Amino acid sequence: MNQIDLSHRHAVVTGGAQGLGLSIATRLVASGASVSLWDRDADALKLAFGQLQAPSVLSTETVDVSQPDSVMTATENTIQRYGKIDILVASAGIAGPNFKSWDYPFDAWKQVIDINLTGVFLCCRAIVPHMLRQNYGRIVNISSIAGKEGNPTASGYSAAKAGVIAFTKSLGKETALNNIAVNCITPAAAKTRIFDQVTQEHVDFMLSKIPRGRFLKVDEVSSMVAWLVSEENSFTTAAVFDLSGGRATY
């Protein structure tokens, strides 16, 4: 494992209690950062806190990223405790159900958009002003290859993740002169609990589209994110990085 130096940096990882978020948080702690895990699942946060075994550099916040007040309260609590936020990894997300677009339930559509897209916006909206004041920041928003290609029976998820790509490009351009790098990644599917939310048919479809012939490993995501949120990433911003196993064509 390459050692990325994140000492003296504080990171917020949303969706940090499990899956990609927990793997990313683990890698950031191993790289020397202190980390605040944000997640709406309080029980999962307790388990993650114990699993990481780094109480001196770790804290948790029960946060619903789709709710502005919840995000602002968590931001204020984190700033009060650590004095700053240098890094944001917006990883919180849900898959939503599998339906053809014309059958997609409105309530499910709204929930997917609220968490996967509006949640990214709200976290950036709350944290970026602090980064502007310190003239430093690194943000990685977790999109998906579905945001580039659009997966059938997953229109809500695909649309939300496409929105994350466009939002990242906009924000990255707005903060480019402030030593704030804003990038996103577009992973192929990784075996996490999000698989519990989709049909086996959809799982099989996603695997069939990956030339590597396997699903992404969460640690492979963490490796890329660790560099993107480091000071070494001093030029790249408003960009999209693929972890699609060869699936992406642009």
What pLDDT, on a 0 to 100 scale, did the predictor assign at position 36? Answer: 98
- Residue 56 in domain: yes
How many Å apart are CA 105 and CA 95, to the nearest integer?
A: 14
- Residue 120 in domain: yes
- Residue 35 in domain: yes
- Residue 92 in domain: yes
- Residue 190 in domain: yes
Bin 15: left if φ > 0, else alpha if -120 < ψ < 50, else beta. left
42-52 and 19-30 are packed helices; what angle lies between their axes, rounded to 10 degrees? Answer: 30
- Residue 250 in domain: no
What pLDDT, on a 0 to 100 scale, did the predictor assign at position 201? Answer: 81
Asked about 104 being catalytic, the answer comes back as no
What pLDDT, on a 0 to 100 scale, did the predictor assign at position 195? Answer: 62
How many Å apart are CA 142 and CA 11, to the nearest integer?
A: 15
* CATH of residue 109: 3.40.50.720
In order along its 250 residues, the chain shows pLDDT tens digits of 788 999 999 999 999 999 999 999 999 999 999 999 999 999 999 999 999 999 999 999 999 999 999 999 999 999 999 999 999 999 999 999 999 999 999 999 999 999 999 999 999 999 999 999 999 999 999 999 999 999 999 999 999 999 999 999 999 999 999 999 999 999 987 777 666 666 788 777 877 878 888 888 888 999 999 999 999 999 999 999 998 888 887 7
- Residue 52 in domain: yes
Bin 8: left if φ > 0, else alpha if -120 < ψ < 50, else beta. left
| Number of domains the chain contains | 1
Of these residues, 104, 136, 157, 250, which one is catalytic? 157
3 state SS of 140:
strand
Instruction: Please tell me the pTM assigned to this model.
Output: 0.93
- Residue 47 in domain: yes
DSSP characters over 19-33: HHHHHHHHHHHHTT-
Output the CA–CA distances (angstroms, integers) from residue 217 to 62, 101, 126, in the order listed. 26, 29, 30
Domain extent at residue 134: 10-237
